[in-house]
């Protein structure tokens, strides 16, 4: 009995202790876990904003962008001599938006403006303003512009503006992004706007930006930075080879003609790859074959070590021979540079076509010619083997894109040519969509029938090209012309390759 009494007493004391201390222990544990959670949260406090180090990019180092440079020179002149413009009642544009394809030199232009004007330069990526916590992005923008006003005259450069400036909608649930955009709008044209602070921004997607950003008083000017023309590409190549030892056999004018549709970043990459190859082979100067190799690598990809069976090689050889043959028959206006069955990138073989000139308008006949050439590889397989393979997948994808654009965007159909709304337009009826789909299929089917007829009619020439490819693996322009010297060319309506970036017909 005494033992039972003692046990009951002990349990009672334990119960009293738990009743007294358990709530305190729970509160301490809760506070500890809250402290741990807060300490592990991402740091959202804006870091200190300072002007970027002086840019060393000058106008002389930017080539092929004369129109954009002329627009930006006015900003530089205003920041250097504001009194001259103030006497005339003129004000500097509050914002200048540089838009265009990637790799055309938008960021480079902003650096040149900062260097030439001598103004304080603040650069930020628009994605750095995007946060999951409400108010953080707006706070960062306020901090950026407050600092810029303290260092005026100043230039604020925002790269990839569409990350924060995308168009708002009534169904949008991202209130943080809306607050960030609203704060940017206020800073551009609000009560505290400073005329000595100029905002430059770059974007690849002008159509995705909010209309409030693009109105006068905010981004007053929208400057298109497009891919350079022939003269621009030649000037860019000269800039990027200025400090490189170039051999006497290198003609930069020819390289420029072969790079239609490429931007400044692509041209710089070609010059760099050519220099790397020359160094790898132990030469002291960069020769023409280094530029040819670099151009082919950029266009078609890196040469792979895939080993094809003899059967696969034969299929690829006839497929690529079909592309080359029909290209020649249509007038050789696609400027064939090389046909090969050496695998590069995802392609098991390819025909490399590089235009000799810049073209900005293409006719219906030219687009049909290009579709015919794309389908000639499959046609050659059918004529030779009586069956088809998977080697035409990329060709068919491009055929679909071209034929669809002809009907839905360019109004080149025969039955619905006057109506050119896109396929995803809500105002387009299902009946019209079906009609256009039939038109698109008819264009591709007629081009395929034409390719089949040409390959069947010139079967001997197709055999010569395929046998030469199986023997030598690669044929250049002169080789193809020699092998097809007795094959008459059909009258062509012009080049089938426009200003778009040149791509190989691959397998």
Catalytic residues: 320
DSSP string, 51-66: PPPPP---GGG--S-H
Count helices and strands in the chain by DSSP H and E runs: 18, 9
Q: Exposed, middle or buried: residue 374 (CB in 10 Å: 0-12, 13-18, 19+)?
A: buried
Contact 210, 167 (CB under 8 A): yes
DSSP string, 430-464: HHHHHHHHHHHHHHHHHHHHHHHHHHHHTHHHHHH
What would the two tokens of residue 270 be?
């070609």
| Backbone phi, psi, residue 469, to 5° | -65, -40
Q: Exposed, middle or buried: residue 88 (CB in 10 Å: 0-12, 13-18, 19+)?
A: exposed
User: Residue 270 is inside which H or E element, if any?
Assistant: helix 264-280
Contact 503, 315 (CB under 8 A): no
Give SS3 for 231.
helix
Residue with tokens 């790397």: 276
By DSSP bridging, strand 154-159 and strand 197-203 are parallel
Give SS3 for 386.
coil
């Amino acid at each position: 009995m005494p033992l039972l009494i003692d046990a009951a007493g002990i349990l009672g004391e334990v119960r009293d202790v738990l009743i007294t201390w358990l709530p305190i222990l729970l509160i301490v544990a809760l506070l500890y876990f809250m402290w741990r959670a807060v300490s592990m949260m991402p740091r959202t406090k804006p870091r200190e904003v300072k002007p970027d180090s002086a840019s060393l990019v000058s106008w002389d180092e930017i080539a092929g962008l004369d129109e954009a440079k002329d627009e930006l020179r006015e900003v530089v002149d205003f920041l250097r001599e504001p009194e001259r413009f103030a006497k005339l009642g003129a004000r500097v544009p509050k914002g200048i938006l540089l838009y265009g394809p990637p790799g055309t030199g938008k960021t480079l232009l902003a650096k040149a403006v900062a260097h030439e004007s001598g103004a304080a330069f603040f650069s930020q990526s628009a994605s750095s303003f995007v946060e999951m916590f409400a108010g953080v992005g707006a706070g960062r923008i306020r901090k950026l512009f407050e600092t810029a006003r303290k260092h005026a005259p100043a230039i604020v450069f925002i790269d990839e503006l569409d990350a924060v400036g995308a168009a708002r909608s009534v169904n949008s649930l991202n209130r943080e992004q809306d607050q960030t955009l609203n704060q940017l709008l206020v800073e551009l044209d609000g009560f505290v706007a400073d005329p000595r602070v100029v905002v430059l921004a770059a974007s690849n997607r002008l159509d995705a930006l909010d209309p409030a950003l693009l109105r006068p008083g905010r981004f007053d000017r929208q400057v298109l930075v497009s891919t350079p023309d022939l003269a621009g590409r030649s000037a860019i190549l000269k800039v990027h080879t200025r400090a490189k030892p170039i051999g006497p056999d290198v003609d930069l004018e020819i390289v420029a003609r072969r790079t239609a549709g490429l931007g400044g970043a692509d041209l710089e990459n070609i010059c760099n790859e050519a220099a790397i190859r020359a160094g790898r082979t132990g030469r002291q100067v960069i020769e023409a074959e280094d530029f040819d190799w670099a151009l082919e690598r950029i266009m078609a990809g890196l040469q792979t070590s895939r080993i094809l069976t003899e059967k696969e090689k034969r299929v690829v050889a006839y497929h690529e021979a079909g592309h080359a043959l029909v290209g020649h028959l249509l007038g050789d206006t696609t400027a064939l540079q090389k046909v090969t069955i050496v695998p590069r990138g995802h392609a098991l073989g390819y025909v490399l076509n590089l235009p000799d000139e810049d073209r900005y308008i293409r006719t219906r006949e030219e687009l049909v010619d290009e579709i015919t050439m794309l389908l000639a590889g499959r046609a050659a397989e059918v004529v030779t083997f009586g069956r088809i393979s998977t080697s035409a997948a990329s060709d068919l994808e491009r055929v679909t894109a071209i034929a669809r654009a002809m009907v839905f965007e360019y109004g080149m159909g025969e039955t619905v040519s006057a109506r050119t709304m896109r396929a995803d337009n809500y105002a387009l009826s299902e009946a019209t969509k079906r009609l256009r789909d039939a038109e698109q299929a008819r264009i591709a089917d007629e081009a395929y029938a034409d390719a089949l007829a040409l390959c069947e009619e010139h079967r001997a020439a197709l055999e010569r090209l395929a046998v030469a490819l199986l023997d030598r693996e690669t044929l250049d322009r002169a080789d193809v012309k020699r092998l097809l010297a007795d094959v008459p060319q059909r009258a062509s309506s012009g080049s089938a390759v426009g200003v778009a970036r040149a791509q190989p017909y691959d397998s």
